[in-house]
């Protein structure tokens, strides 16, 4: 009898150790997390530090689920190579789900699929989305930026246009919708996207009031596809600011 009790006790200990090793963050992960967050400055980071296990579980699910290219950090100091061209670009054709403003638009296949799903959702609410700009090559972006510099001067151009190699459009996962002006925010399309894009995996890259963080003025028309789970992670842990999440993920995956 005594022996069987001891045996049951041992089994319980084993189960407990097994269960905690499955769900808990390792020491190394906790140190890595604290180290990265120590270099970052955003208000919700204490939430992460206070809920490390939960956060790491959700982070890992996103990193396991999403293709790497969806979560690549591209900003003023993180460049894409001039010869970086996504391998699965497909041209956007005239269709019943969304409108296109020109005939030379293209997106990566999973992004176009997600756009279809989102457009179906918008249609249900009586809204047809207009796609105005999508993939841009390095050379195209170079010409575009030079044109804006000639028009507005370098300092101003830097605030609303990306230098070649630093544009999310080169990823083939970013879309500019509608008029590409501030007025878009107050249109039906603009409002619908603001409220619902994340449900379909599209994240607003340059929100209002965050120029010092993103490097760009507010762009109510520019959405980047990162996947639904990543959008939820962004909202829950990063104050819904894409730049914070991308910087964090960049640091996290770099340290592996």
**Shortest gap between Cβ of 219 and Zn ion (angstroms)?**
6
How far apart CA 222 and CA 180 sit, in angstroms, is: 8
**Shortest gap between Cβ of 174 and Zn ion (angstroms)?**
6
DSSP state letters, 58-102: HHHHHHHHS-GGGG---BTTBPPPTT---TTEEE----SS-EESS
Q: 47 vs 211, which CB is nearer to Zn ion?
A: 211
* CA-based R_g, the chain, Å: 22
How far apart CA 123 and CA 114 sit, in angstroms, is: 14
**Shortest gap between Cβ of 175 and Zn ion (angstroms)?**
8
H or E segment and range at residue 107: strand 106-108
**Shortest gap between Cβ of 161 and Zn ion (angstroms)?**
9
**Shortest gap between Cβ of 221 and Zn ion (angstroms)?**
7
Q: 45 vs 222, which CB is nearer to Zn ion?
A: 222
Residue 221 and residue 179 in contact, taking contact as beta carbons nearer than 8 Å: yes
Task: Return the SS3 of 126.
Answer: coil
Site residues, Zn ion (CB under 5 A): 176, 222
Q: 33 vs 115, which CB is nearer to Zn ion?
A: 115
User: What's 22's DSSP letter?
Assistant: H
**Shortest gap between Cβ of 169 and Zn ion (angstroms)?**
6
- Give the CA count within 13 Å in the CB-facing half-sphere of 128: 8
Q: 55 vs 184, which CB is nearer to Zn ion?
A: 184
How far apart CA 117 and CA 202 sit, in angstroms, is: 11
Q: How far is CA 157 from the centre of its chain?
A: 24
Q: 33 vs 119, which CB is nearer to Zn ion?
A: 119
Q: 119 vs 134, which CB is nearer to Zn ion?
A: 134
Q: Which residue is nearest to Zn ion (CB)?
A: 222
């Amino acid at each position: 009898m005594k022996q069987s009790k001891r045996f049951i006790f041992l089994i319980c200990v084993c189960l407990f150790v097994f269960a905690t090793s499955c769900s808990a963050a390792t020491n190394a992960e906790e140190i890595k997390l604290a180290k990265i967050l120590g270099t970052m400055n955003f208000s919700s980071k204490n939430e992460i530090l206070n809920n490390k296990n939960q956060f790491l579980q959700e982070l890992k699910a996103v990193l396991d689920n999403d293709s790497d290219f969806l979560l690549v950090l591209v900003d003023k100091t993180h460049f894409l190579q001039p010869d970086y061209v996504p391998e699965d670009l497909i041209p956007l054709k005239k269709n019943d789900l969304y409108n296109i403003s020109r005939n030379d638009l293209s997106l990566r296949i999973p992004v176009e699929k997600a756009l279809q799903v989102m457009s179906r959702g918008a249609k249900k609410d009586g809204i047809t989305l207009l796609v105005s700009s999508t993939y841009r090559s390095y050379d195209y972006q170079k010409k575009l930026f030079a044109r804006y510099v000639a028009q507005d001067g370098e300092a101003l151009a830097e605030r609303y246009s990306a230098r070649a190699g630093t544009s999310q459009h080169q990823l083939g996962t970013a879309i500019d919708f509608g008029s590409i002006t501030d007025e878009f925010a107050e249109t039906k399309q603009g409002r619908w996207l603001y409220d619902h894009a994340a449900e379909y995996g599209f994240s607003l890259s340059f929100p209002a009031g965050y120029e010092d963080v993103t490097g760009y003025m507010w762009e109510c028309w520019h959405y980047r596809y990162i996947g639904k789970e990543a959008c939820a992670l962004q909202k829950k842990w990063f104050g819904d600011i894409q730049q914070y999440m991308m910087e964090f993920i960049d640091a996290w995956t770099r340290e592996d």
